[in-house]
Amino acid sequence: MSFRVIASMLCALLLWLPPSPGYAQPAKGKTDPLALAYNMKPWIGDFDGMVKRRQVRVLVPYNKTLYFLDKGGTQRGIITDMMTEFENDLNRQLKNKNIRVYVVFLPTSRERLIPDLLAGKGDIIAANLTVTEERKKLVDFSTPLASGVREIVVASPGAPELKSLDDLAGQEIFINPVSSYYGSVKKLNADLQARGLKPAIIRDAPGTFETDDILEMASADLVKYTVADRYLANFWKQIFPQIRVYENLEVDSGNDIAFAFRKDSPKLAAALNPFMEKNRVGTSFGNQQLTKYLKSVKWVKAATDPEEIEKFHRLADFFRKYGDQYNIDWLLMMAQGYQESRLDQGAKSSVGAIGVMQIMPATGKELQVGDIRREEYNIHAGVKYIRFMIDQYYAKEPMTDLNRGLFAFAAYNAGPGRINQLRKEATAKGLDPNVWFDNVERVAAERIGRETVQYVSNIYKYYIAYTLIRAQGAGDGAGAPR
What's the burial of 266, exposed, middle or buried (CB within 10 Å: 0-12/13-18/19+)? exposed
The confidence score (pLDDT) of residue 6 equals 27
* Burial readout 34-47 (b: 16 or more C-beta within 10 A, e: otherwise): bbbbbebeeeebbb
Cα–Cα distance measured from residue 16 to residue 150, given in angstroms and rounded to the nearest whole number = 36
Cα–Cα distance measured from residue 20 to residue 42, given in angstroms and rounded to the nearest whole number = 14
**Structure confidence by residue, pLDDT tens digits, 315-374:** 889 999 999 999 888 988 988 998 888 888 999 999 899 999 999 999 999 999 999 999
* Burial readout 234-254 (b: 16 or more C-beta within 10 A, e: otherwise): ebbbebbeebbbbeebbbbee
The confidence score (pLDDT) of residue 288 equals 60
**Structure confidence by residue, pLDDT tens digits, 232-245:** 898 888 778 999 99
Cα–Cα distance measured from residue 11 to residue 63, given in angstroms and rounded to the nearest whole number = 9
Q: State mean pLDDT over 145-171.
A: 95
With cut-offs at 50, 70 and 90, classify the pLDDT of residue 74. low
In this structure, are strands 201-204 and 172-175 parallel, antiparallel, or unpaired?
parallel
The confidence score (pLDDT) of residue 218 equals 94
What separation, in Å, do the N-terminal and C-terminal C-alpha atoms of the chain show?
28
Domains of the chain: 33-147+258-304 (3.40.190.10), 148-256 (3.40.190.10), 306-476 (1.10.530.10)
With cut-offs at 50, 70 and 90, classify the pLDDT of residue 98. low
Residue 89 or 402, more confident: 89
**Structure confidence by residue, pLDDT tens digits, 435-470:** 998 799 889 988 887 788 878 878 887 787 667 556
The confidence score (pLDDT) of residue 339 equals 87
Length of the chain, in residues = 482
**Structure confidence by residue, pLDDT tens digits, 369-395:** 999 999 999 999 999 999 999 999 999
The confidence score (pLDDT) of residue 415 equals 86
In this structure, are strands 140-141 and 102-107 parallel, antiparallel, or unpaired?
unpaired
**Structure confidence by residue, pLDDT tens digits, 293-302:** 543 343 233 3
**Structure confidence by residue, pLDDT tens digits, 22-55:** 222 333 333 332 223 334 579 999 999 999 888 8
The confidence score (pLDDT) of residue 470 equals 64
pLDDT of residue 10 exceeding 70, the answer is no
The confidence score (pLDDT) of residue 11 equals 26
Residue 469 or 259, more confident: 259
With cut-offs at 50, 70 and 90, classify the pLDDT of residue 69. low
CB-based contacts of 160, cutoff 8 Å, min separation 6:
167, 171, 224
Averaged pLDDT score across all residues of the chain: 81
Q: State mean pLDDT over 164-187.
A: 96
Contact (CB, 8 A) for 11 and 441: yes
The confidence score (pLDDT) of residue 19 equals 26
In sequence order, the β-bridge partners of residue 63 are 67
The confidence score (pLDDT) of residue 224 equals 95
The confidence score (pLDDT) of residue 16 equals 23
Cα–Cα distance measured from residue 324 to residue 373, given in angstroms and rounded to the nearest whole number = 22
